[in-house]
């Protein structure tokens, strides 16, 4: 079976893009994560909505989370204003593993389960991301193998 039919298209953003630009792409594409590439279209890292949100939370609240109860929505708005022009390279998240286009179903299944990655970038022969293998991809792959629609 060809693993490619279970992939999602890679939605990419350049590492020099800003918080706001990444969020705009996520909103436009109705997705929660992006693959971050350099100027040569090579995978650098990833970014997701949780990472973007975390970037907008002041550092002092990470040490004293109970203080969040005493904050106001205007503080969150201020924090978003401060972070909107920061470049993604300042807070990207690493992918532990990436796979190639010709990766077997078994190898993809092992990476998802062993490394607990919810999304695995799929790279072409030049290291450019072309697809993403997700938990939904895994579910569809398993169901297809057992003839479940």
Q: What is the pTM of this model?
A: 0.81
Tell which residue, 92, 86, 73, has the closest CA to residue 35: 92
Q: Where are the domains of the chain?
A: 3-145
Rounded-to-integer distance, Cα 68 and Cα 27, Å:
26
Give the number of other CB atoms < 10 A from CB of residue 50. Answer: 11
pLDDT given at position 69: 59
What CATH number is given for 3-145 in this structure?
3.10.580.10
CA dist 123 and 65 (Å) reads: 38
Q: Which band of pLDDT confidence, cut at 50, 70 and 90, is reported for residue 8?
A: confident
Q: What is the mean pLDDT of residues 73-86?
A: 89
């Amino acid at each position: 079976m060809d693993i490619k039919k279970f992939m999602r298209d890679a939605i990419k953003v350049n590492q020099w893009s800003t918080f706001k630009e990444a969020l705009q792409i996520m909103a436009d594409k109705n997705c929660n994560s992006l693959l971050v590439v350099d100027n040569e279209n090579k995978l650098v890292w990833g970014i997701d909505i949780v990472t973007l949100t975390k970037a907008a939370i002041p550092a002092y609240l990470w040490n004293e989370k109970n203080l969040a109860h005493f904050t106001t929505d205007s503080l969150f708005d201020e924090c978003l204003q401060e972070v909107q022009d920061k470049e993604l390279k300042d807070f990207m998240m690493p992918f532990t593993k990436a796979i190639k286009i010709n990766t077997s179903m078994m190898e993809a299944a092992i990476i998802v389960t062993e490394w607990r990655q919810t999304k695995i970038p799929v790279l072409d022969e030049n290291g450019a991301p072309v697809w993403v293998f997700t938990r939904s991809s895994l579910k569809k792959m398993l169901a297809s193998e057992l003839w479940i629609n």
